Amino acid sequence: MDVIVPVEVGILSGVLVALALFVRMAVSAGTTRSLQFQLAAFLSIWSISEIPRVLDSIGAIDLSPIRLYGLMVHAVSMVLFALFIGYRLSKFVIRGGK
């Protein structure tokens, strides 16, 4: 598979900008119990997890020995994210949209 390094560097730049925005959103949320903070925190972690993938694709680091573990962690995190969204949605529906 051919990797276009300038494109990957652009993706890395976008991920870093997104990370900065998510951290700013989390800091400005006010309370850790707010949906804004919780989503921003999760998306910040997700952004951080993309950085090694991009560095691996441009050849800066080699993640091949732990690639399977990364896929397992990714699968578990997506299940946890789905549970989080389901939990928050159910609280919203039970309270009647308040």
Structural domain total, the chain: 1
Kindly tell me if the per-residue pLDDT of 3 is higher than 90.
no
Complete DSSP assignment for 6-24: HHHHHHHHHHHHHHHHHHH
Entry pTM = 0.79
Residues 6+ apart with CB under 8 A from 68: none
What are 68-75's contacts with CB under 8 Å, separation 24+? 74/49
CA–CA dist 81, 87 (Å, integer): 10
Neighbours of 31 (CB within 10 A): 8
Containing structural domain, residue 15: 5-94
The two tokens of residue 68 are 């399977």
What pLDDT, in 10s, does the model give residues 7-55? 999 999 999 999 999 999 999 998 999 989 999 999 999 899 899 989 9
